[in-house]
Structure 1
Amino acid sequence: MLIWKERVQRLITLILGLLQRYPRVIALFGFCSGVFSFIMVDRHRAGFARAMAIVMLVSWIWLMLENLLTDRFKRRFGWEVPPGLLRYATQLIHQESLFFCLPFFFVTTTWNSGQALFTGVLTLAGLAAITDPVYYKFLSVRRWTFLGYHTLTLFAVLLTALPIILHLSTPQSYQAALGIAVLLSFPSLAVTVKIHKWWRWFALVGLTLSIGSVGWFARAWVPPSTLWMTEMAVTESFDNAQRTPGDSLETVSVAQIKAQGLYAYTAINAPRGLNERIYHAWRKDGQEVDRIALDIKGGREAGYRAWTHKQNFPTDPSGKWQVQVLTEAGQVIGTLRFEVTP
């Protein structure tokens, strides 16, 4: 037993030495594995996608139970895991998680909307994870900032992993990811708030509910990480037999839309498969004038092609128009823009 312990300790010391000598290796590994994961998922490797998602979630379960497991390990084997190794393991999980998610969010973000803010913050979190001075001297030593960082990363992982593993719809995934992230933040908040008086329990519950409420009402600013547009068009004509649109238009006259209306065509990519309701929300000068529901079921080979034909326009339809493609939870998948001229 003593020989085994000495060998393990020497191995851990060697690993820590290598990590301290080559700190950028962890960052490079996290970045490369994240990009590789996205490429494999995008190439129909459903089994690989599920495996990666499960690894991400298991690593987070370990992270949440880190203190309990290390105490059990110490009692069982008589020595504790060096803090330096735990520190590097936590950083690696954050890096792996963020760079696993970021390619999905980069593809699914509607950049001329509030979603750019969420993806921008997530990008800064990824850069912080690979910048040791920021990660160790700013994030990890401040409990509030680390808690927020931790919760954001977990939320992003769940948004990406749950649809791939469980084939949940986008609204179901969002609700589950938000609920789990808020629930798991509760113990950390309890430690941070330092409950010495009874009324602080109410403050803690209120703070937790506030975090959940902000996450829910800000859902339109969060990209649907496993749904993205591959093709979109606003057109006067549509080939129903081939399911292909005519030329996409940026401007159209009042006379044209009065005569034959307009088609909004969208094609949606989803590595997990698609079985949910989406909406085409027609907006004129920022105001929604029509919302058309589309129930979509099928595999990737079907192309997730959906279209709506709008013929009922206002008396004076001239102005700037948008067709927003929305999930049932209100997340924007993509936006089509065109102008109607007199």
Structure 2
Amino acid sequence: MDRVRTACIVVVALLTGMRASELMEMLVDACVSQDLEFGRTRYRLKTKLIKGQGLGGVWDEWVTVLQAHKAVQLAVELQDPEAPSPYAFGRFTLARRCESLRAWVNGPEGQRLGLAPIPDDPINTQITRRTLAMELAHRPGGLLAAKIHLKRVSVVTTEGYAARPGGARAEFLADVAAEEQVRNKDLTLAAFRDSQKGIMPTGSGARDLIEFFASVDEELQRMEASAPGIRPRDQEVLNLLSKRAKTLHLGIANYCWFIDPSKALCLILAGTPGADKPLAGMCDSVRCPQATHHLSHRPVWADSAENKKIFIGNIRRGQPTEKARLQADLDHDLRVLAEIDAASGTVA
């Protein structure tokens, strides 16, 4: 039972980015949900924000996902009925708890149950918090989202994220940039491997990317011909892809290969063709000659299309203009979906 509670703490820490003090202050009634339109639900966890606050802290809420809610509820259900606590988790030392859990999972009992071994890496709430921050920061507008979600933003940015040059903010940005380079290489390699399987990108920038992948494939064939029986390793493939990977920026539902700023539609629309980064908020990936859609983006387009169908179905007869606008957007989404399906050989 104690091991399950430890797992619950780790899940909530990873999904919310809460500090240890915030997890310890969480009460048994911390789970708050709000029913939204069209059957959607917003999940929140209520606890005290301690760091940087006055004595006793202040109550605050973290917007999170259903899995974090369920982990808190399970931890509460596992409390000793003869000695119930008003706190969901109470006092704990995460590192010590995780060492015990890892020893059990990696030991005979865990192996008998078929549990996957836990790597021998350190874990604490600073690590879980940083992991979530990096994941958020990778997304468009993610650095600001990370600051807000992790409660590092008030009237001015706090906690050193807006500190002097070379401070915490600079270190964080440097770490994000380094992680992005690794991630971009992995994503570019995955897109290349897909193309080798016949799963092609679509969009206005697809032709250029396909031609690039074809040239890489030809180079790999020459390498194999020069050394029969030896297949190039992933690292050798990455060396050929690295230049293109450096231009990759993630859109909400597309990849942006920011090779030539003068051709970037977002910069043209903004009147800043000389900028060194794309403007994700102004991206029109269907029309931009440097944007591509991949099979991994299909769920986003499918969700968008489904939501628009629901909205259209709820529009009153007296709003024909709004209905026409949404119908045009829906047709746009369905066209992208059809192109992705055709290029990947899947059926919608």
**TM-score exceeds 0.5:** no
Considering Cα pairs closer than 8 Å and 6+ residues apart, tell me whether 1 or 2 has the greater RCO: 1
Q: Which has the higher strand share?
A: 1
